[in-house]
Amino acid sequence: MMWLFAILIVLAMGGIAMVAAGRGTPLQEAYDDRPDALVPADRPLRAADLRAVRFPLALRGYRMAEVDALLARLAGELAAREQATEHSGEPTGERPE
């Protein structure tokens, strides 16, 4: 009798493992609640766009200080480029519509 219960438990655990692995009736799709990095796709990036970007925190990811430093450097370079093109009268690189 004890062997019968042991076999039933093993079969039940195998059935649960199959459902969890996606066989049988799959589990519901996970909802992605992370915010998107909102950068404009319809025009070139500006310095203000990079300054406004914030990435969500993750357990295993990049160091926040390194990402912030890179974004600050890129924003500074874009700001300098924007000022140089404004003073020289050259086009800003935006696409005509």
Mean pLDDT calculated for residue range 84-94: 70
The domain in which residue 80 lies consists of 43-88
In a domain, 36, yes or no: no
User: Is residue 57, in this structure, part of any structural domain at all?
Assistant: yes
15 domain-assigned: no
Higher pLDDT, 76 or 38: 76
In a domain, 83, yes or no: yes
79 in a structural domain: yes
2 in a structural domain: no
Query: Does 16 map to a domain?
Result: no
Q: Name the nearest CA neighbour of 76 among 68, 87, 66.
A: 68
The reported pLDDT for the residue numbered 47 is 82
pLDDT digits (tens, 9 = 90+) for 54-86: 777 777 777 777 788 888 888 888 888 888 888
Residue 81 CB coordination number (10 Å): 14
The whole-angstrom separation of Cα 49 and Cα 74 is: 10
**Per the domain annotation, does 95 fall within a domain?**
no
> Is it the case that residue 97 has pLDDT exceeding 50?
no
The tally of domains found in the chain comes to: 1
Q: Is the pTM higher than 0.85?
A: no
Q: Which residue has the higher pLDDT, 10 or 46?
A: 10
